[in-house]
Amino acid sequence: MPLVTSTEMFKKAYEGGYAIGAFNVNNMEIIQGITEAAKEVNAPLILQVSAGARKYANHTYLMKLVEAAEIETGLPICLHLDHGDSFELCKSCIDGGFTSVMIDGSHFPFEENIRLTKQVVEYAHAHGV
């Protein structure tokens, strides 16, 4: 099962009346622990990566670890950028295989935050995220 988008995951959760755990990850041990626990209860999950964690652990390593977790567990897993602070970061994550992104433009004036959010949403939707 490939990584799934948060949109499809939330739709199923809403229809099924359940919540989805979202956990910040930055290394193999954390990913293994979370996914093994989720497998025990057959729970879908969202693995979140902050910009700092992505820089620390390396995008490619994180992608491969999450892909391995998905193969090993067979669970629906969404890989989410948590609090991306720029269009470039969100774009890079989308282009690199993340299935969900969150833009955080709170450091900008309100109007700039809206413009940035629209830009990210348009790019994400155009790329199936």
Which domain, by its residues, includes 101? 6-126
- Residue 37: how many other CB atoms lie within 10 Å: 13
Q: Indicate which residue of 82, 85, 95, 104 is catalytic.
A: 82
- The pLDDT tens digits for 73-120 are 999 999 999 999 999 999 999 999 999 999 999 999 999 999 999 999
114 within a domain of the structure (yes/no): yes
The total number of structural domains that make up the chain: 1
pTM comes to 0.94
1 within a domain of the structure (yes/no): no
Q: Is 104 a catalytic residue?
A: no
Nearest to 32 by CA among 4, 54, 65, 61: 65
41 within a domain of the structure (yes/no): yes
- The pLDDT tens digits for 6-63 are 999 999 999 999 999 999 999 999 999 999 999 999 999 999 999 999 999 999 999 9
CATH number at 106 reads 3.20.20.70
